[in-house]
Amino acid sequence: MEKWQEEDCKRVAALFEDVRNRAAFARDYSVPGGQAMIYQHINVLRPVGLDAAVAYARGFHVSLSTISPTLATKVQEVLKVGVAAPSTTSETKNDWPFRDVTADQWKTLDLADKGRVEGYAMSLIATHQTDKSRKEIA
């Protein structure tokens, strides 16, 4: 786990100090992994992913940057680049990142949802890159 991820976990732990029922919080705000994942986050066992960070931000009525400045910055970077479905020409069709989602389906999502999808993808890519670099070192 990277230092910034540990710091995210510590921020989440501080927010949960006065929460008596983590299971209810997890249900009410759709925390991925439920109370078990909250436990792992506040005990710095697993990094806080984008979906969980968004759920925590909603639940505690704070900004995403309060939970994770790094994830918030990554989401902002995605939004600056823009989120647009590729044209349906044969040149870009092979570059379309989704196997089961069409460009027309993608267009039905609002900008915030598209940003969440791309932010989640960036989080996964960062995790895989971290795992890959660990394997190279070993």
Q: What is the pLDDT of residues 111-130, one digit of tens each?
A: 878 877 887 787 777 777 66
Q: What is the pLDDT of residues 58-75, one digit of tens each?
A: 999 999 999 999 999 888
Global pTM reads 0.60
What CATH fold (topology level) applies to the domain 3-137? 434 Repressor (Amino-terminal Domain) (1.10.260)
Q: Where are the domains of the chain?
A: 3-137
CA dist 76 and 1 (Å) reads 22
Q: Residue 53 burial (CB < 10 Å; 0-12/13-18/19+)? A: buried
Q: Give the helix ranges, DSSP H, for the chain.
A: 3-15, 22-28, 34-42, 50-60, 64-67, 69-81, 90-93, 103-107, 111-137
Question: 């792992």: which residue's tokens?
Answer: 40
Report the candidate in 51, 71, 67 with the shortest Cα–Cα distance to residue 113: 51
